[in-house]
Structure 1
């Protein structure tokens, strides 16, 4: 069994004593795990991180780290490194002095400080920048230094709050891999907050999806993408088509859904479904095919409303099964592209769509 390193038990947080920004959070994190907290603004993910860091105190419940409760332990005594979006580097200090600061606060010897600073700079491949000041560095270099400062005192846990949000797309994607490789090499725990779904799927061992102060689902990136627990997770993670319908048949791990136009769709049922219940059927755009040889698949005629060029692929927006906003992703060079106004045959496998209970 994997060792539990972090645990939230019945944690709630309120700032006004009436409404809760985090509600009844139960969450276990394994030792060495890279966990990402994902959700829209105001969903409770950053407040959860701040309670773990010690910058906020839970209104109710307990938080344990390494087996000991930490709700009343001050931040500087938790042995946690923190990286923020704005880097939080001291502008009047050199890179080396920024990294040395938390070590001097721990009253380390001068020789040990020098050794630890050099080691941390080596980890982020910034050894030649020790004498520069933050304003002499690019955004990506500053983020590397902020990461090195969070690691320099060898913390048991590193927390990251939207650390790549200020970087351009190419640099952000590069830094995602840098952080993931560093995590793999060091084996430390990372709890990472973002609203970027792609970032969460790329970097994490598991992802916890928050909405309205509640943890909606926690799972591996693969399971989160392929088997969302509810319509919110399905539409928030990646891109999904949502088709409303009613459950008319339910047996042996399969179901049939009657769409608003009377079409019958075979799907995999999620939890809590009953005959006659309203449901949301979710289907990824890349799982819909224009091929004619889909044996046993759901097959329908769709009306093409719009064609959008994306370079490496095309997007079709079609009307089918009573929904006029179903999107289909077609790889570039896949053959003849249907034009707006055309009627086309499309299909998808039963295993590629899930019928979820409406909340």
Structure 2
């Protein structure tokens, strides 16, 4: 049976100056074999959390365990953790094979077993044909594969990745996302991955932890994070979002009604912490907004098209409605009628289950 608490952070704080905290009271459990991504803006605490797990930073307080053993005071080189960074950190004077073999040499492994391990690791990342080359003779994607092989060659139970694809172009980055996810599934190892790219996090992860200002805001599977954000920050940071402010006028059975400043009444799912009379913000994804919605939809409002941008497979509309002029609508291109143009009058709408009211702190 897999351990649901293979990695734990309990009450972990990190301060560099003794006054302010970059990580504030982190409690987190990671299951064995899980691919967890730490996501957030710069300075949110995600990289510091990874560095504490790697052993490159020491918690100011709290405990970190790996496989049931406390490791917050164990030196980095004794944690048996693989690490992959954005800059690859390959030794330029060594060949590909020598770079991959380096962790094994540090462990004083025998030559025959070392050669076999290097061969297997390079095969895993499809770089066996490049074993004799130097890093300068490789593309960025190839260098990242070598860095990944080096992190896997000593068969760690945990691999940490800090923005490993940030230096690659879009097409190669997307290709490597899938390759890393396939390797994770095949090897059954734990991966803790840091990125500021929300698409990358949603594509690769079993769960995503969203950080802001040193605090874990929400941790959940990608679909839940996107469909049921816990607060306005998560709703705004994950994907595109129409944040419509208002006041709660009714609340019952997991549903609520929000009234905007212009008097528009909107039915929605109720998030946690709402109260009648309190201010709230609606989280509404642009693709959930329909143009010319069915009469049965409870939320229907007159609108005017302010801007229309062609994106190939979809149109992005900015419309004025509910007292605002910045509501985004994503519409499949084939559903756009010939009359749709800037300045056109329209009706937009969405179902109550397609938006969620979130309490304002």
> What TM-score results when the alignment is normalised by the length of structure 2?
0.98
Do the aligned residues in 1 keep the contact of 2:292 with 2:346 (CA within 8 Å)?
Answer: no
Give matches, 1:86-97, under 5 Å: 86-97=87-98
RMSD, aligned CA: 0.9
Paired with 2:29 and 2:323, the residues of 1 have a C-alpha distance of: 42
Paired with 2:360 and 2:201, the residues of 1 have a C-alpha distance of: 25
Which residue is 2:301 aligned to? 300
Do the aligned residues in 2 keep the contact of 1:294 with 1:347 (CA within 8 Å)?
Answer: no
Paired with 1:2 and 1:223, the residues of 2 have a C-alpha distance of: 23
> What is the Cα deviation at residue 297 of structure 1?
3.0
Do the aligned residues in 1 keep the contact of 2:293 with 2:300 (CA within 8 Å)?
Answer: no
Which residue is 1:257 aligned to? 258
Do the aligned residues in 2 keep the contact of 1:294 with 1:348 (CA within 8 Å)?
Answer: no
Paired with 2:92 and 2:193, the residues of 1 have a C-alpha distance of: 25
Post-superposition CA distance 1:207-259 (Å, at most 9, x none): 00000000000000010000000000001001110000000000111110001
SS in 2 for 1:333: helix
Give matches, 1:143-222, under 5 Å: 143-222=144-223
Post-superposition CA distance 1:90-132 (Å, at most 9, x none): 0000000001111010010000100000000010011100000
Following superposition, which runs of at least 4 residues in structure 1 exceed 3 angstroms of deviation? none
Unaligned runs of 5+ in 1: none
Unaligned runs of 5+ in 2: none
Do the aligned residues in 1 keep the contact of 2:210 with 2:234 (CA within 8 Å)?
Answer: yes
Paired with 1:69 and 1:169, the residues of 2 have a C-alpha distance of: 39
SS in 2 for 1:58: coil
Post-superposition CA distance 1:288-327 (Å, at most 9, x none): 1113425233111012111112122111101111222100
Post-superposition CA distance 1:142-181 (Å, at most 9, x none): 0000000000000110000000000000000000000000
SS in 1 for 2:84: strand
Paired with 2:293 and 2:64, the residues of 1 have a C-alpha distance of: 55
Paired with 1:242 and 1:55, the residues of 2 have a C-alpha distance of: 39
SS in 1 for 2:318: strand
Post-superposition CA distance 1:183-221 (Å, at most 9, x none): 000000000000000000000000000000000000000
Q: Summarize the Cα distance change of 1:2–1:104 in structure 2 as closer, same or farther, 3 Å threshold.
A: closer
